[in-house]
Structure 1
Amino acid sequence: MRTPITRRTLLVSGATVGASALLGVPAASAGAREQGDALVTPVAEVLDGGEQVTSLVVSSPALSRVERSSLTASTFAVRVTATNPLSGEVAYELDRLVTAAGWTRRGAIRLELEHGWGVDGGGTLQYLGEHGRNVVLDLDHAITQLEPLRGSGGSGEVVLGSFRQGRVSDAEVDAFTRHATASGLNYRLFSPAGGGGRDGAALVVWLHGGGEGGLRTGGYDYYDNETQLRANRGALGFATPEAQDLFGGAYVLAPQATSAWMLDGDGFAPLVLEAIEEVVATHRIDVDRIHVVGCSNGGYMSLKMVAEHPGTFATSVPICCGIGARDGSGRYFISDDELAAMTTPTWLVAAANDTTLDAEANTVHAHERIDGSIMSLYDDVTWGGNTFPGHWSWIYVARNDPHHDGVRIWEWMAATRR
């Protein structure tokens, strides 16, 4: 994501062909000449299928004298190379389709890129199947100017001479500040615009899935405090204006496991509690409105936190959760006695076609044993015209879709106190 880039040039007989020749402009043309350096900022968004680079912003002082109507979607070409920072291997290298080009309010060029579910070349993460982890890719966007821009007032043609890439910008992710507990557990924190009510703001604790933890095996030491926000909209949903309005302002805490919650629930539970206590101690939090939400590994961990600290949470939302083999033979396990003892208001969410954590053996089993719990069991995971893997039922919660007796899940959470 931080790799500097330069303009791609053509070499003929060992000599570099300048911008005017590259663009097909006669070398004798006095109007077409390279106009200095441009900064390229990749702009990303976390979509339902994960984070993608959706546009590039190109800024340069030379653009101040460009006639804006001369910019088209065919002015620039974009090619991206994505490199895995752990292995150094190229994850993908391909051209990105520029679907539109326009101007920002600050006079920079915005190149809109094709993106969405099933579109190759936009993703910022790579899932390492053998390790079960996501890593943030290093992205190198190479920009080629194919056509000159017209200078305003007959001032000649403008050709940007070189490009350098800045850091990836994702407004939603960047709104979460970076922290680590005294014990070294990474977490990100969203702070509401207001301080909440008289007793402080609510706190939503988002516990990520197994793919978003650190990787400290196999010779790696990868612990980035990034993927728990970039892999899906689980935490981000609660930071949207819609959710914030319902909660009257809420902090959103997203801790990151050093590995996977399911590998050591007993060890991680006190570390998650430490993160919660640190946030409560340093911000105006209403301790009667602390909510725990988690997906997959995090769905297990949300149940684990309630089992270990039954008086801490106002609500619990386990999504596509795992509860372990019923004989307790696995690494993770929530016993039937623990489930039956839970009094924290609980809303479970899953899809019936989940092939990762079987809904009947996990979500339905837990629902039948947690007295008074609510369950939203979908047939599959379909949203925005796309059908996703059945395990991805966190998409529904991130979009406030589950509802019961006319009340949606965010509203239920916001209205519930400990």
Structure 2
Amino acid sequence: MPTPITRRTLLVSGATVGASALLGVPAASADAVEHGDVLVTPIAEVLDGGEQVTSLVLSARALGRVERSSLTASTFTVHVTATNPLSGEVAYEQDRLVTAASWTRRGAIALELEHGWGVDGGGTLQYMGEHGRNVVLDLDYVITQVEPLRGRGGSGAVVLDSFRQGRLSDPEVDAFAHHTSASGLNYRLFSPGRERGRGREGAALVVWLHGGGEGGLLTDGYAYYDNEAQLRANRGALGFATPEAQDLFGGAYVLAPQATSAWMLDGDGFAPLVLEAIEEVVAAHRIDVSRIHVVGCSNGGYMSLKMVAEHPETFASSVPICCGIGARDGSDTYFVSDDELAAMTTPTWLVHSADDTTLDAQANTVHAHERINGSIMSLYDNVTWDGITYPGHWSWIYVARNDPQHDGASVWEWMATTKR
């Protein structure tokens, strides 16, 4: 039987029991003002190493009675349990360090959580190595008030005893609307603001093709196809939706399809499905068809080359990142021939890191660069950003941060000024 997908955003947090006792306030004390039903909203951000929950927002009517100066970083403790929705196994369970506490403009409490590369307990995804897929975890946060909040005007302590977890919020991810093509291919779409893309010909369209870990899992009894991981695993698509990128493009739609498995498993089968999604977006929005760009990493790097090979008149530019092109004898399930590479006229900018141990840079990107006439190549020694060295396969970080440069132009600038 297929494993059903649960909405990880609809989990209910366990209520903190006995907060009054923990605070040393008798439950029946007239000096204690207890209010339940505190909404806990996990706030996530896609970092260079993937999405993490970076803060929690606590909302309750009772907070309007709290003396704000009584809130500190030690007022609440936070515990999280992350469960794989497919296997049912606990991926991690631990306390999370609250680094700061503050008040939002709307009178809610924001608890900042320790996060970043190498920090455990914040990730929203788990990589299932046996299946090669990233799965979005079910997250259950338990909040405990361990220090008092003073009521205004000497009204007594405010004790928050009952917590209800709301949906996961990631503003960048949530800006991409959910869609499914006529053939059933999931995709997410970012639309520029009304003030952008008003040129006579319409806005640009950037097509982001994800890596192998971000597809669906429809084998071994699973029915996992959630239209989420292609945005949460890295900043590849999100980078093009940032204000910086949108300014350079003068407004751009960003389309992020999700394979039902992995692009490399069936490039011939996926190519028409990706094209169909592109055509649907073009038909529904004011798109400048001379400015459709395809970008992809790893599996998606292969697929970006495959799309250009299959549809040479569609794309203004192609940016394959840490791509695979297959063994030269064609024995892999994925394969871009030397003849196809040599025939490519779409402006191409290839990006890779020399220390990539997943897809060898010389056998793939350098080989393709030597055969695609006029192509640009950015070959890095390693993947280091903001002082952190990541695995060598993760060269998509550079494109997501608009780092590659050629002849005085960044990769985003080059794309934004390239037309078919």
Q: TM-score normalised to the size of structure 1?
A: 0.97
Deviates more, 1:101-110 or 1:187-196: 187-196
**Which stretches of structure 1, 4 residues or longer, exceed 4 Å deviation after superposition?**
26-29
Q: Are residue 4 (structure 1) and residue 6 (structure 2) matched? A: no
The residue that corresponds to 1:408 in the other structure is 410
Secondary structure of 2:282's aligned partner: helix
Q: How does 1:51-130 map to 2 (within 5 A)?
A: 51-130=51-130
The aligned residue for residue 391 of structure 1 is: 393
- In structure 1, distance between residues paired with 2:65 and 2:205: 49
**Could you list the runs of 5+ residues in structure 2 that have no partner in the other structure?**
1-7
User: Could you report, residue by residue, the CA deviation over 1:147-172 in whole angstroms, capped at 9, with x for unpaired residues?
Assistant: 11011111111011200000000000
Which letter does structure 2 place at the counterpart of 1:177? Answer: A
> In the alignment, what sits opposite 1:361?
363
State the match for 2:153 in structure 1: 153
Tell me how far 1:7 sits from its aligned partner: 2.1
Distance in 1 separating the partners of 2:74 and 2:294 = 48
Is structure 2 residue 348 aligned with structure 1 residue 346? yes
Q: How many Å apart are 1:394 and its aligned residue?
A: 0.2
Letter in 2 for 1:353: D
Q: Secondary structure, in 3 states, of the residue corresponding to 1:288? A: strand
Shift of 1:186: 0.2
Alignment partners' CA distance in 2, 1:347 and 1:215: 31
1:20 and 1:174 map into 2 onto residues whose CA distance is 37
Query: Of residues 280, 289, 292 in structure 2, which corresponds to 1:290?
Result: 292
| Structure 1 unaligned residues grouped into runs of 5+ | 10-17
Q: Look up the SS of the partner of 2:207 in the other structure.
A: strand
TM-superposed CA distance for 1:352, in Å, is: 0.1
* Structure 1 residue 231 displacement after superposition: 0.2
Per-residue CA deviation, residues 77-108 of structure 1 (Å, 9 max, x unaligned), is: 00000000001110000000000000000000
Map 1:16-415; keep pairs closer than 5 Å. Answer: 18-26=18-26, 29-193=29-193, 194-415=196-417
Displacement after TM superposition at 1:25 (Å): 2.8
Q: Distance in 1 between matches of 2:155 and 2:24?
A: 19
SS at match of 2:378: strand
The alpha carbon displacement at 1:198 in A equals: 1.1
Query: Aligned residue for 1:13?
Result: none
Query: Residues 247-270 of structure 1, C-alpha deviation per residue, up to 9 Å, x if partnerless?
Result: 000000000000000000000000
Contact 2:16 2:163 in 1 (8 A): no
Amino acid at match of 2:299: N
- Check whether the contact 1:35–1:158 (CA below 8 A) recurs between aligned residues: yes
How many angstroms apart in 2 are the aligned matches of 1:295 and 1:186?
Answer: 18
Identity, in percent, stands at: 84
How many Å separate the matches in 1 of 2:226 and 2:42? Answer: 19
**Cα shift at 1:19:** 2.9
Distance 1:334 1:301 in 2: 9
TM-score by length of 2: 0.96
Worse overlay, 391-400 or 190-199: 190-199
Cross-structure match for 2:3? none
